[in-house]
Structure 1
Amino acid sequence: MTNFPMHRRDWLQGSACGFGALAAGAALGTGNLAMGADRPGLHHQPKAKRIIFLFMQGGVSQVDSFDYKPLLAKRNGEKLTFDDPRQTANTGKLSEHHLMKSPWKFRQYGDSGRWVSELFPEMAKRVDDMCMLHGMHTEGVAHGPATLFLHCGATNFIRPSIGSWVFYGLGTQNADLPGFVSIAPSIGNGGPRNYGSSFLPPQFQGTKVGSLTDAQLSIDSLTRADLSSDLQQQQFDLLNKLNRQQLAQRVMHVPELEASLQSQELAWRMQKVAPDVLDLSQESDQTRRLYGIDQPVTKAYGERCLMARRLCEAGVRFIQVTYGDNSANPAWDQHSNIPRHADHALAVDRPISGLLQDLKQRGLLEDTIVWWGSEFGRTPYAQANGTGRDHNPRGFTVWLAGGGFKPGFSHGETDEFGFQGINGRVHMHDLHATLLHQLGIDHKRLIFQHAGRPFRLTDVHGQVVDKII
């Protein structure tokens, strides 16, 4: 072996272009990205520009909210045999359960005559803006797999979240803000994977704003009060120069490094813009009352929904607004006490109604999709003969509003007890395909090459549900 003398300065430059680039290299992580992938852009004329996803973590009961089944009341307590997904998975056998009527009364609302229970009197006033999907079904009977499938289209593999796919496909409308924001996400049942980019370039992951345990909706370390703006500018310019030198000296294209530099540059621009966007004090008292921020029980979710509207106006493509918690049995997961649904409904009903009204009066609902739903529904029978309901991935309700979906419309239906979809069934892959379609993206062509094969949100499945458009 021939030995070549190397000076200390040459070694530092060759190995990491100085300590600044060493720091940048550490920020990259160890992920492996596909090479040469180009953002696809629009495939056809879009009906919507953005999505607000109102995630009801834990599983809202469809038969206690939007899927009225009068036969449940008539045959309350009757024992019937069901193909219960959890029991079947554990034993491979059918099981008997007692039907349980809803504790809440239903009535029809709006010109469309949609049935809504007493749980959601404020949302019920907006049913003529909603497109109900009553035949939803999905994969996964436990929270973890079903929540990952809802967000990422896979129950156990690490895949990009739908928000990251949308951001990757369309980019952002505002170069000074991220294209994907997750407001108060849960750390459970997938945690950051539910707003992560997986093998997509890391600049497409979601930006977390606040948490479920923190009343303050903010971005960590967004500003620095201990340094003047001039000094911060000098620091950024120096680091950016070193990082760009490192990038230019690389023989091979390094997408991780490019993504890291883009993220740093975006973070710098966000310091000037994001504090203003995140400042809810700029809203009028009338607007704050519309979202229920003036009431303790609705304040938290009202602020999250109002934040979503402000981010929507500012050009963010995908905004997720979580209602849940960090426990093993999150929020709507009432296995033994279904009447507790009332507590959660009270917390979200007015804020969601206010969001729909606010978007509509500002002209934003026309090109904004509001998507409401859970990872699955609940059984129409009592769990263990108690007063709660178990998980039900075979038939539940999701509603959509705006973005070119038919308003005041109902698609699909479950059986006479609300257990499983029988007509107009929509799989979660189908819903993902349809949401992308409304954004101008063909789900079969939104592809990223990774590990030697093409990947997409809907895998090899998914059909656009034309009847709801």
Structure 2
Amino acid sequence: MQNEFFNHKLNVTRRHFLGKTAAGIGSLALGSLLMPNLFKGSGDESLDQLPLGLPHFAPKAKRVIYLFQNGAPSQLESFDYKPTLAKMMGEDLPASIRNGQRLTGMTSNQTKFPLMGSFFDFKQYGQSGAWVSDLFPNIAKIVDDICIVRTMNTDAINHDPALTFMQTGAQVGNRPSMGAWLSYGLGSENKNLPAFCVLLSRGRGNGQGVYSKLWTNGFLDSTHQGVVFSSGEDPILYLNDPEGTDKMARRRMLDKLSELNHLGFEENGDPEVQAKVQQYEMAYRMQTAVPELTDLSKEPDHIIKMYGPECLVPGTYAANALLARKLSESGVRFVQLYHQGWDQHGNLPGEMPLQAQDVDRASAALITDLKQRGLLDETLVIWGGEFGRTNYCQGNFTKDNYGRDHHPRAYSIWMAGGGVKPGIVYGETDEFGYNIVRDPVHIHDFHATVMHLMGLNHEQLTYKHLGRRYRLTDVAGKVIPGLMV
């Protein structure tokens, strides 16, 4: 009797099987349609992670716009108000505060470190009562929409390694940038546009250079590198067809080239061959999408007024901020804007107002624009530089003519949208604005948090290169819950 019972339980008919598993099979089929790579193996059975192109968990943000202020704006003239510095103007920074911190070559020969208060006034704004400099009146108006982080800190003390560290998670070159990692992990939302776009602008202050290693794909496939938009007549170089070539001729050429490349791939197995084919096809599709996107003249008058008249001048910060919104709205995963000119080692009172004027209105307009369109909740916006500025003066000074050296121990950025807690000030520095006293945020922590907001576990998104698994946060980094809703 017992054997008959078990035989009965195992006697599953075709109709019974399909009836019981219909829901599961239907879900699998739907999943494969919505995410074609869902059941595609990674090629490494030891990896316990979801397929690329799919987040590890429900994301709070779908896209990132990174407004990078290249050259390091002073936190003491922007978002970290320190009245003690004004009261102690000219007095030497106590040795117990500096605590033997290494110096740059520009101040290493100084025997005195005279404290310098801000030339510009601060006021409190919003329900949070956040202190904001008079240099940023428009950002002050949206302070309840942003999260000011006053306790960023980095390992680098000079521009090149600090820039590279902020963008790639390492101070040396040939590591994938944050945009490349997100392109690799999540793919693109729009097949006609790259997942990672780069916009460049130059302010009126002393500039630091930017270079392609900041938006490199590193050891990832070249399809993940940032695509640079220029301010010239052709937003993307070599995108247009040569004279005498029509669309059909271009299509035939690409088809033949693809055939040759596939033959080459079958022969040598180099994945970069396939990456080149994908890039050719992307460029072909972009020929239709890019001209419409980069034509800002069709924006309504109220948008032009919001960003300011300079948004109609190609290559300005305002134009790039508006273009960043359009790219993000069209599904570009990561838009990186670099604005140069924040390196105020001298004449800070003269230069920094010009820099602030370039970015203040358009940065605030971007937040307001995204919010009005219902896009801010799914778009993470970041504003900030590679490190901070010292609370003491570099060299000789007067109250209306001074400069500040590099300061990696504590500096300010702000973030908005995309799951970030709005209307708060996170972290606290000491009364001198020199050391962090509460809630530090290291670069690796910042990267881990951005990836978490995008639905990615920073420890799971890895790439094997030269026998080692790499990730954006290297072997460190922790998600900061206090920054997120």
Q: Report TM bin, short chain.
A: 0.7 to 0.9
Name the amino acid aligned to 2:420.
F
Name the amino acid aligned to 1:381.
Y
| Structure 2 residue 123 is the aligned partner of structure 1 residue 107 | yes
Give the superposition deviation at 1:234: 2.1
Distance of 2:104 and 2:367 partners within structure 1: 40
Distance of 1:255 and 1:432 partners within structure 2: 28
C-alpha RMSD over aligned residues: 2.4
Whether the 8 Å contact between 2:173 and 2:213 is mirrored in structure 1 is no
Q: Tell me which residue corresponds to 2:249.
A: 231
**3-state DSSP class of the match of 1:218?**
coil
Whether the 8 Å contact between 1:147 and 1:189 is mirrored in structure 2 is no
Q: Residues 109-164 of structure 1: CA distance to partner in whole angstroms, max 9, x if unpaired?
A: 11221110111001110100111111110021110000000001111242110000
Q: Tell me which residue corresponds to 1:281.
A: 297
The structure-2 alpha-carbon separation of the partners of 1:298 and 1:76, relative to structure 1 and needing over 3 Å to count, comes to farther
| Structure 2 residue 144 is the aligned partner of structure 1 residue 133 | no
Q: Tell me which residue corresponds to 1:391.
A: 406
Give the superposition deviation at 1:229: 1.7
**3-state DSSP class of the match of 1:77?**
coil
Name the amino acid aligned to 2:216.
G
**3-state DSSP class of the match of 1:449?**
strand
Distance of 2:234 and 2:306 partners within structure 1: 19
Match of 1:71 among 74, 84, 88: 84
Whether the 8 Å contact between 2:152 and 2:413 is mirrored in structure 1 is yes
Name the amino acid aligned to 1:57.
N
**3-state DSSP class of the match of 2:316?**
helix
Whether the 8 Å contact between 1:40 and 1:446 is mirrored in structure 2 is no
Which ranges of structure 1 fall in alignment gaps of 5 or more residues?
1-33, 325-330
Match of 1:258 among 266, 269, 274: 274
Match of 1:195 among 197, 215, 229: 215
Give the superposition deviation at 1:185: 6.9
Give the superposition deviation at 1:442: 0.3
Whether the 8 Å contact between 1:148 and 1:190 is mirrored in structure 2 is no
The structure-2 alpha-carbon separation of the partners of 1:459 and 1:40, relative to structure 1 and needing over 3 Å to count, comes to farther
Q: Tell me which residue corresponds to 1:26.
A: none
Match of 2:52 among 24, 39, 43: 39
Distance of 1:297 and 1:466 partners within structure 2: 40
Name the amino acid aligned to 1:357.
T
**3-state DSSP class of the match of 1:349?**
helix
Q: Residues 330-374 of structure 1: CA distance to partner in whole angstroms, max 9, x if unpaired?
A: x11111111111110001111111111100000110000000010
TM-score, with structure 1 as normaliser: 0.86
Distance of 2:188 and 2:315 partners within structure 1: 29
Q: Tell me which residue corresponds to 1:381.
A: 392
Distance of 1:377 and 1:146 partners within structure 2: 11
Give the superposition deviation at 1:225: 5.7
Q: Relative to structure 2, which stretch is displaced further, 271-280 or 182-191?
A: 182-191
Larger radius of gyration: 2
Equivalent residues in 2 for 1:59-208 (5 A)? Answer: 59-80=72-93, 81=95, 82-83=98-99, 85-87=101-103, 96-184=112-200, 191-208=211-228
Distance of 1:427 and 1:217 partners within structure 2: 39
Q: Residues 279-300 of structure 1: CA distance to partner in whole angstroms, max 9, x if unpaired?
A: 2122112211211135899981
The structure-2 alpha-carbon separation of the partners of 1:95 and 1:460, relative to structure 1 and needing over 3 Å to count, comes to farther
The structure-2 alpha-carbon separation of the partners of 1:194 and 1:361, relative to structure 1 and needing over 3 Å to count, comes to same
TM-score, with structure 2 as normaliser: 0.83
Give the superposition deviation at 1:253: 3.2
